[in-house]
Structure 1
Amino acid sequence: MPLLATAIGLAPAVTAHATESTAIGRTGTIGPDQSVTVDARDGTTLHGSLRLPENPDRPGPAALLIPGSGPTDRDGNQPGLEANTLLSVADTLSGSGVATLRYDKFGSGETGADPDLDPASLEFDLFVEHAADALGFLADQPGVDPDRLMVVGHSEGGLIALVLANGQEETAPSVSSLALLAPASLPYLTTIQLQLREQIPEWPGRGLIPESRVEPLLDALDDTVEAIRETGEIPPWMPAEFYYLGIFHPSSLRFLVTADHHDPRELAGEVPAEVPVLLACAGSDIQVPCSMVDEVRSALDDRPAGTLRYTRLPQVNHVLKEVGSNGSDGSEYGDPLPFSRRLRAELSVFSLRHLWLG
């Protein structure tokens, strides 16, 4: 299934496990995970893990880590899939003396979802609001300098991070630096469209459709996306396979349409010049390939001013693990592969330069 098409799947609550790692940073020791809750403005209680300097009298920088699509928890995991993407990012930043907050997004982990909620009413902007509320919570913590707040977004989280960096959530504190890791880089429906164009020819081999349905589905794909984008509704003539396979379904349509309103390229071009950006793409990423991320890179480069650090992570998959020459097909996401060592180094240098020395 397309990564972004499953963005609002609401899974049963699962427990997020995190290691209690400590590290010596420029503020001294960054403490272990503390379980915290954030009361979001819509009444949702977000559950998360907070790491603070053990010496709160010396305020230092902090980072909010925003998870990707689907029922992704604070560590970057989903039920049955232990990728530990954000846990690895938190460990890396702890080593640089940066406090962190990561949280179970709505529909995941301990946060879960309201069982009475109609999924068809869920909008993308709810996830932006939750991230803004979490950033405000982080800024208020002892030992955190509210003028040195970084936002780190992975995949769909990168789109949310761009919205925050542009100040479109007026209640959120100002973002001082930004890290976009394999970020969603095209409008939401466009991304799904491109992913489906590659995946539909593979569906017969997976037993999802007969071979005779490949060409009709490909022929109908562009018109289906255009109709949804223009009307906000599923066209009555849409092929039934898109419905039954959960690609375009009434339960997720509102989310898809509202997410599609945010174009990552436009947002990237509007990032304030005073906000330095670390942009990373993964060379073996089958979900958001570097060719997509280059769209965001171009927009950031086209700004009249501003600092951009771009890095390509060779032989690294979408969940930022090193896959070597084996490449990626997504089945290895939960395998115990090493987190990208190059990305660890890039995050450490970026945080030193822009959160400590900048």
Structure 2
Amino acid sequence: MKYYLSLLLVCFCFTIQSQDLTYSTQDLEINKLIDGTLLTPNDNDKPKLAIIIAGSGPTDRNGNQNFMKNNSLKKLAESLTNKGIATFRYDKRIVKQILKNKVDPNIKFDDFVTDAISVIDYFKEKNKYSQIYVIGHSQGSLVGMLAAKGKADGFISLAGAGQSIDEVITEQISAMDPSLIDATKKAFKSLKEGKAITDYPQPLAPVFRADVQPFIMNWMQYNPQEVIKSLDIPILIINGTSDLQVSVDEAQLLKDASETSEIKIIEKMNHVLFIIEGDQLVNSKSYNESSRKISEELITTISSFILK
């Protein structure tokens, strides 16, 4: 009797949880390189769709990498879908390549743009969505604005740089070790001219090693200010004051380049969308703290922009 009672309670609890869900979940393969998760509101036959593009590195659909699990993009997707917006988030192609132990050594920045365009086209062809918005986080901001041009109905830059990557890296190195500035500028000048380099200080190897140079050459040809200026769609630019990687000044550069865009600076929000009450160490540790909630102000700002 106790066994059957326990079983009934389990079934009852499962039913209640299912009834509480406001969306359905579907894992999709867009093509042989791109897998992702679609969340669809249950009460809307033709919702708006937000496509979420992750930042730099081997970042998966949830915003995680090896040894860095925060689930920030998963939380963003779920929160927006609870507001009535369908969301699709996907693993960067390199994630699938790593899992299959077949990493392409010739991967380019443009490959990420190609992937984002493929995702947009996939959903446009479905004709199930009233509008399609692109949300690009960090490196995904530039990827997203390039992919959104002529294809999406709106664009959201989330912690995106306003300068080309060579300028961003030069600023970062300047802040860490001013003695490396001249060597950094010299290296980037050569790369800009399409010339590979071998003469650089060892501390700069993560940026300028031979296998990274083609990717950087490709990436640095894009100026985010010029790209965002070319978009003829509603634009929202968001940054947090506690972002250790992308300052609010970068957001302002994008805003200045796009007169019709909207900008939102969220107090104490960091790069992985958490509100930080504490010092830089607390901030850094949060990158691997998946129990944290993302900013409520962020969710409200994005959902209001998309649904208005």
TM-score normalized by structure 2? 0.86
Q: 1:320 and 1:260 mapped to 2: Cα distance?
A: 26
Q: What 5-or-longer segments of structure 1 have no aligned partner?
A: 1-20, 168-173, 202-214, 354-358
2:63 alignment partner AA: G
Give runs of aligned pairs for residues 59-208 of structure 1, distance below 5 A.
59-108=46-95, 110=96, 112=98, 115-119=101-105, 121-141=106-126, 143-145=128-130, 148-167=131-150, 174-200=151-177
Asked whether the equivalents of residues 316 and 324 of structure 1 are also in contact (C-alpha less than 8 Å), the reply is no
Over aligned residue pairs, what C-alpha RMSD do you find? 2.3
Q: 1:180 and 1:80 mapped to 2: Cα distance?
A: 26
Asked whether the equivalents of residues 281 and 313 of structure 1 are also in contact (C-alpha less than 8 Å), the reply is yes
Pick one of 200, 203, 225 that aligns with 1:241.
203
More helix by share: 2
Give runs of aligned pairs for residues 203-222 of structure 1, distance below 5 A.
215=179, 217-222=180-185
1:287 aligns with 2:245: yes
Alpha-carbon deviation of 1:54?
Answer: 3.4
Alpha-carbon deviation of 1:329?
Answer: 5.1
Q: 2:298 and 2:107 mapped to 1: Cα distance?
A: 33
Q: 1:79 to 1:264 in 2, by over 3 A?
A: same
Give runs of aligned pairs for residues 16-55 of structure 1, distance below 5 A.
31-39=23-31, 44-54=32-42
Q: 1:159 and 1:22 mapped to 2: Cα distance?
A: 38
2:27 alignment partner AA: S
Which digits, 9 at most, give the CA deviation of each residue in 1:102-153, with x for residues without a partner? 1100112x5647645552x2111111011111112223347423xx100000
Asked whether the equivalents of residues 101 and 138 of structure 1 are also in contact (C-alpha less than 8 Å), the reply is no
Query: Sequence identity of aligned pairs in percent?
Result: 26
Name 1:231's counterpart in structure 2: 194
Greater Cα radius of gyration, structure 1 or 2: 2
Q: What 5-or-longer segments of structure 2 have no aligned partner?
A: 1-16
Name 2:276's counterpart in structure 1: 323
Name 1:261's counterpart in structure 2: 221
User: 134-143 or 257-266, which moves further after superposition?
Assistant: 134-143
Alpha-carbon deviation of 1:165?
Answer: 2.5
Q: 1:45 and 1:190 mapped to 2: Cα distance?
A: 30
Q: 1:104 and 1:187 mapped to 2: Cα distance?
A: 24
1:47 alignment partner AA: D
Q: 2:177 and 2:264 mapped to 1: Cα distance?
A: 31
| Count of matched residue pairs | 290
Q: 1:182 to 1:98 in 2, by over 3 A?
A: same
TM-score normalized by structure 1? 0.75
